[in-house]
Each structure stands twice: as C-alpha cells, then as structure tokens.
Amino acid sequence: MLLRPLSYLLATALAAASWLFPSGTAYAQSAKPETRESCPGLVAAQPPRLTPVSWAAAALAADQVRITYAGHSTFVIESPQSVRIATDYNDYVQVPLPTIATMNRAHDTHFSAYPNPAIPYVLRGWTATGAPARYDLQVQDVRVRNVPTNIRDWSGGTDRNGNSIFIFELGSLCIAHLGHLHHTLTQQQLDEMGRIDVVLVPVDGNLTLDLEGMIEVLRALKAPLMIPMHYFSLFTLQRFLDRAREESWQVERATEPSVVLSRAALPAAPKVLVLPGR
C-alpha cells in the first residue's frame, strides 16, 4: 500500500476536525472587503467541512443533468452518459473519481497539486507562464470550455488569468462555475460565455468578489437558476439570499445535496437554489 504524503494526512485531519469542531467565523463575517483583498489565501487555513453525500443515483434521461454539492466550491456534475465532472477539485472535499476535474489557482482548497492519476482529464484554469488557459474539450456527451479571469495575488496585486470560469454543456443545459471570481465581467467575457442556464456562484462577499459586484455579474448573466457556493457561514449565505430577494429573485432551500435538472424544467423567473453543505 502506498503511503500518503504527510501534507495530505494533515489536511485530512484538519478537515475532519473542522467537521467535528467548527471553527469560529466572526472575522469572516465582520471584516470589510478591503481588509481581506490582500489576503485571498486565508481560507486555506480553515479547510471546508466535509459533506456526507450518497453517490448512488438513478440513470438520467437524455436531456437531464445531475448536480451534487460536495462542499466549498466543489460540485459533482453528471451527464446522461455517466461522464462525471468535479469542479475545483482538491484534496479536502472528497468525491468519487471524476472523468473530468477542473481547478482554479486561488489556493489549495480549489486545486490539487497531486490529482489522482486515474482521472482522465485534469483541467487547470491557469498556466505556469501567466498566459490564459484555453480549453474546448468534448468527452462523450459533455463539452467543457473556459473563460479566463484575473485574481488577486498574495501581495494584493493582480495575478492575470489565475482563474477560469468553466462552462459545461451537457444534457440540455449550459452550466457555468465561476470559480474564485474576483472582478466583474467584461462584455467580451460575457460574449464568450454565451447563454448560461445554471450558474454556480461564490457568495462569501469578500475573499472572492464583493456582494454588490457578484449581484452585478448575476444580473449580466441572466441565468434562470443560481446555486450558491463558497459561503463559509450561514450568516454570509443569508446576507446573499436577502440581497437576492431585493432583486425579486425567488429563493428555495433544498433538503438534499443533489438536484436533477433539464432545460424544460428551468424556472420561468430567476431563482436561487440552496443545496445543503458548505
């Protein structure tokens, strides 16, 4: 049996500890965005809680997609032909072996330096040179493409092209995962994204984009369904939901971490769907 690297064992122990003994979130709730912008890696010191999920599921119809929130920024997206995608794949949130793993550079709760070598496709949303990562990949009934964005670096400057918005076309839907988005989107970026049916959106309001900026992004995308992620506490989630209601967006809280979607079943008016787990 191969021995796990010590860093992996420590990360696993920390994740388990955070599940049993949740750490305080007062700083994350009270700090002004401008005081956090120069320190985007702070969350790495508090690994996301693990969310128990049952991965046994029924088959999907040709126009359907299953989305399961595994925790933090990681979703598992499954296609009718059983292609499995893990977003912001990392060593903290455990998921079944995916067919496709996407990652972002912000910090190690959004990527793995040593992804499982059995994963057929590992898509890093950045490059070592700072040039934009570019993907347009077809795997069975799934198309994956990306739109690069910038992130803040450790000194408070700009790490150009350090994040990617990954867009998944499968079933009858176009799903966008915003990753660790730090700025509003240009018209060119919106045009590259195209029509979005479902957006997976970070709503912490300070480590990623501030609350008003994220609302601006969501207004521009006009996706019928928005699923929050990356919120750390019920306080920050509720703050986003209250702001969403001010936009007259419907809010629904699911009781299960998985939802089966199709284009025909999308809401007629903008809706925020909260899946359990964080």
Of how many residues is the chain composed?
A: 278
Average pLDDT of the chain? Answer: 83
Kindly tell me if the per-residue pLDDT of 221 is higher than 50: yes
pLDDT at 30 over 70: no
**CATH, range 64-274:** 3.60.15.10
| CA distance readout (Å), 242 to 146, 198, 228, 256 | 30, 20, 13, 22
Q: Is the pLDDT of residue 209 over 60?
A: yes
pLDDT at residue 189 is higher than 90: yes
Looking at the DSSP assignment, which residues form a beta bridge with residue 84?
Answer: 78
Q: Token digits for 215?
A: 């609302």
Which residue pairs, CB below 8 angstroms and at least 24 apart, start in 262-265? 262/61, 262/63, 262/64, 262/65, 262/171, 262/172, 262/173, 263/63, 263/171, 263/172, 263/173, 263/197, 264/63, 264/172
* DSSP 3-state of 250: strand
pTM above 0.85, yes or no: no
How many beta carbons lie within 10 A of that of residue 30, not counting itself? 9
The mean pLDDT value for 201-216 works out to 95
Look at residue 74 in the predicted model and tell me its pLDDT: 97
